[in-house]
A and B are shown apart, each in its own frame.
Chain A
Amino acid sequence: MNKFKVSLSPHVHSGNSVNKVMYGVIIALLPALFVSVYYFGLGAIKVTLVAIAASVFFEYLFQRFMIKGESTIGDGSAILTGLLLAFNLPSSFPIWMIIVGSLVAIGIGKMSFGGLGNNPFNPALVGRVFLLISFPVDMTNWPKPQELVFSLVDADSGATPLALLKEKVGNGETVANALKDIPSYFDSFIGQVGGSLGEVSAAALIIGGIYMLMKKIISWHIPVSMIGSIAVLQAIFFLINPDKFADPAFHLLTGGILLGAIFMATDMVTSPMTPKGQIVFGVGIGLLTVFIRNFGAYPEGVSFAILIMNSLVPLINKSFTPKRFGEEVTNG
């Protein structure tokens, strides 16, 4: 008699896997990585490689000795966390600090909750915020982008446009005066603005976002609601007092809004499960970002906004359930 396997339906599977999802996001990050290497040179490569290697190493250690489970470094999630952490760092960042950041991202941000799928906060952002609070000088001193590909010379460093804006407007100057020396919007879009690795080119991030939308790794709800709410609220502030508040286009093209909207806030593990919940989540991040940037102590607020909204995800999931079939009976 033949021996057959017996199991419950369905007997077929889509072939989708955690690996495919994770490597899909990594592929989507490659355009931005190439642009940052182009502008920041070997520094960018160094920061990226160290962050990835350290993240994978710590994932292995924690899984082996703390969780005591089968190794999970093959699923791609640690590589992704390392890559995203690197995207949040300046290319001149010291190696030992990168390693500390990776330890915090993987160890505290992810493995202390039980590993992949169980962490409430985006691990890369946990690492970034830890570094920002611990090493504020190194985290806000950004080399200027200057087509440094394969050059070993250190670049000039300086403040980001957002930091400039915060400082000068805080000192009583007008927005127009504060921003007279920053790159044009077109340059910001293509990638000529000081900042962390991942913030350098809006265009490259958007290409990655379109790729993930096409592969159905992310849906439009979080990026669109987040960017849209920032644009609307900042436009209102700008119209009220253009001397004190910069225009929305400046805000959207500088700092971490695009990186945050496309790659950070859309992290599956730490974002809501339904389209409605995702829109609430995106709008929440957008509003918090605008308030922190305009009124907070830090020039940049995306990471804080995402982490705050991460903490509300369980509540959002409970409040915004999907529309059940047959709930509103439509007879016609």
Chain B
Amino acid sequence: MLKTFKLGGVHPPENKFSAGKKIEQLPIPKTVTIPIGQHIGAPAQIIVKRGDEVKVGQVIAKAGGFVSANIHSSVSGKVKKLDETVDGSGYRRPSVVIDVEGDEWLDTIDKSDTFDKEIKLSAEEITKKVMENGIVGLGGATFPTHVKLSVPAGKNVSYLIINAVECEPYLTADHQLMLEKGDEIFLGTQLLMKALGVTEAIIGIENNKPDAISHLENLAKKYSGIKIQGLKVKYPQGGEKQLIKALINREVPSGGLPLDVGCVVQNVGTAFAVYEAVQKNKPLLERVVSVTGKSVKTPINLMVRIGTATSELVEAAGGLPEDSGKVVSGGPMMGKAMADLTTPIAKGSSGVLIFRNEEAGREKIHPCIRCANCVSVCPMGLEPYLLMTLTEKHDYDRVESERALDCIECGSCSYTCPSTRPLLDYIRLGKSTVSKIIRSRKQ
């Protein structure tokens, strides 16, 4: 029986052009630019300086607090300079530029491809390994994984949920990873279960990936406590609140966390990274990225070292198409547009999506005809048209009381609006203003 969430949702065309393309290793570039601050939380502190020799896997920036993550060198070579770079999320951040020399790894890392299925470490040791190796959520939110594994006293976790929905159109990185690294994903899931002390895990996959569902269902027989659940295709099912609702019919309360309903949600790519971090002692220094788009010559899934410039990935996919008008880091619904192709790949980059010129612009804004489409597609039960109007009028008390902060920014409202109104743009503005007001209230 396929499941899904009830409230709202849309069905954008899937356009998964890179589906079924084997993950290829992108050659190591001549230089990498590793942004510092690839995660949610406190920025990491750079501990290398110009001229330092670094090896693959060496820490170059230390976590700046508990909710933060280490950042490792993804290459070996010499630190060329400490710089500032605009990253995939559009912010100018400190970065470390490294000139690549050879490919020399720290000896503590097991580079081999052999599958190591014996869990030797205790729950605390697993969490510590995850923390040391800089693992963050790879679904795009980049929340430090060890924080999610450190369950506060008084909270009970009954389920680990593995998010393998990949509901964004175009993207296929998780899909391909499941097909190629199934055993590793299961072991990573078991490591996460052990760290959390839970006996049940559910992997949720949308049924536009039937090969991944049947592959994992076959493997699941070997691993106890892990269930595969097929899901009806509906965006934004990969939102953790929607996924929890779909899988176990619990609703995370407004302003709450999955922990409040006894769940921890981890992305399927994160499960793989946890396997590598714990069993192979390998830090998060590369990830799978889909390079795709309607005009892209060879849509492709690449294993890419963190810090590689986007232009290198585009070359590997057959070069930048002539009619390119917009390049997005991530998927079409929630991804961020890049200013140029120098933007480095970071831990949260799941895709490079190239839009044609004619797809890149926006349509003219028409008056709201009160069709209520935005209300009916909102997966959080909000009224986007109202939030936009209230933000336009600077009525932030009501923006707050109409629960703008519940908005998960999935973009379904703007997607569906027949008047092509920039609903989400205004809601973001309303949200950030309300957040500022709430912060100033606390002081």
Interface residues of A (CB under 8 A from B): 1-2, 4-14, 16-18, 20-21, 75, 115-118, 219, 268-275, 321-332
* In the complex with contacts A2-B340, A6-B337, A268-B371 CB distance below 8 A: yes
A116 to B366, CA, bound (A): 9
Task: Please tell me if the beta carbons of A11 and B328 are within 8 angstroms of each other in the complex.
Answer: yes
* In the complex with contacts A9-B333, A268-B371, A330-B363 CB distance below 8 A: no
Query: For chain B, what secondary structure do more than half of its interface residues adopt (helix, strand, loop), or is it mixed?
Result: loop
A11 to B361, CA, bound (A): 8
Task: Please tell me if the beta carbons of A17 and B363 are within 8 angstroms of each other in the complex.
Answer: yes
1/0 per residue, CB under 8 A from A, across B338-369: the answer is 11110000000000010100011111001111
Residue in chain B with minimal CB distance to A277:
B372
Residue in chain A with minimal CB distance to B320:
A2
Q: Which of B64-72, B121-129, B417-425 contacts A (4 or more CB under 8 A)?
A: B417-425
**Pick the contact of A4 from B340, B366, B403 — CB < 8 Å?**
B340
* In the complex with contacts A9-B411, A10-B414, A11-B332, A322-B369 CB distance below 8 A: no
Which range holds the interface residue count of chain B?
35 or more
Q: Which of B17-25, B298-306, B378-386 contacts A (4 or more CB under 8 A)?
A: B378-386
Task: Please tell me if the beta carbons of A322 and B368 are within 8 angstroms of each other in the complex.
Answer: no
**Pick the contact of B367 from A118, A324, A327, A329 — CB < 8 Å?**
A118
B324 beta carbon closer than 8 Å to chain A: yes
Contacts of A272 in B (CB 8 A): 372
Contacts of A273 in B (CB 8 A): 370, 372, 375, 383, 385
B416 beta carbon closer than 8 Å to chain A: yes
A271 to B256, CA, bound (A): 34
B249 beta carbon closer than 8 Å to chain A: yes
Identify 22 residue pairs between A and B in the complex whose beta-carbon atoms are under 8 Å apart, listed by A's number: A5-B360, A6-B90, A6-B339, A7-B362, A9-B409, A10-B411, A10-B415, A11-B337, A11-B355, A14-B12, A17-B419, A18-B366, A116-B369, A268-B369, A273-B383, A322-B383, A324-B406, A325-B379, A325-B380, A327-B381, A329-B261, A330-B251
Task: Please tell me if the beta carbons of B335 and A9 are within 8 angstroms of each other in the complex.
Answer: yes
Task: Please tell me if the beta carbons of A326 and B253 are within 8 angstroms of each other in the complex.
Answer: yes
A90 to B71, CA, bound (A): 77
Number of A-B contacts (CB under 8 A): 170
B433 beta carbon closer than 8 Å to chain A: no
A116 to B361, CA, bound (A): 24
Rounded to whole Å, the gap between the CB of A268 and the closest CB of chain B is: 4
Task: Please tell me if the beta carbons of B375 and A10 are within 8 angstroms of each other in the complex.
Answer: no
Residue in chain B with minimal CB distance to A116:
B367
Apart from A4-B327, A324-B380, A324-B382, what 8 extra A-B contacts exist at CB < 8 Å?
A6-B338, A10-B414, A11-B337, A18-B418, A18-B419, A117-B369, A274-B383, A326-B241
B93 beta carbon closer than 8 Å to chain A: no
Task: Please tell me if the beta carbons of B254 and A324 are within 8 angstroms of each other in the complex.
Answer: yes
**Pick the contact of A327 from B254, B378, B414, B415 — CB < 8 Å?**
B254
Task: Please tell me if the beta carbons of A4 and B382 are within 8 angstroms of each other in the complex.
Answer: no
Task: Please tell me if the beta carbons of B241 and A325 are within 8 angstroms of each other in the complex.
Answer: yes
Q: Which 5 A-B pairs have the closest CB atoms?
A: A10-B411, A117-B367, A324-B381, A16-B418, A273-B372
Task: Please tell me if the beta carbons of B7 and A325 are within 8 angstroms of each other in the complex.
Answer: yes
Rounded to whole Å, the gap between the CB of A10 and the closest CB of chain B is: 3
Task: Please tell me if the beta carbons of B369 and A4 are within 8 angstroms of each other in the complex.
Answer: no
Rounded to whole Å, the gap between the CB of B156 and the closest CB of chain A is: 12
Contacts of B254 in A (CB 8 A): 324-327
Residue in chain A with minimal CB distance to B409:
A9
A5 to B355, CA, bound (A): 10
Task: Please tell me if the beta carbons of A269 and B324 are within 8 angstroms of each other in the complex.
Answer: no
Residue in chain B with minimal CB distance to A70:
B364
* In the complex with contacts A268-B369, A324-B380, A11-B335 CB distance below 8 A: yes
Contacts of A325 in B (CB 8 A): 7, 241, 245, 251, 254, 379-381, 406
Contacts of A7 in B (CB 8 A): 326, 337, 362
Task: Please tell me if the beta carbons of A324 and B360 are within 8 angstroms of each other in the complex.
Answer: no
Contacts of A5 in B (CB 8 A): 325-326, 337, 360-361
A328 to B381, CA, bound (A): 12
Contacts of A332 in B (CB 8 A): 249-250
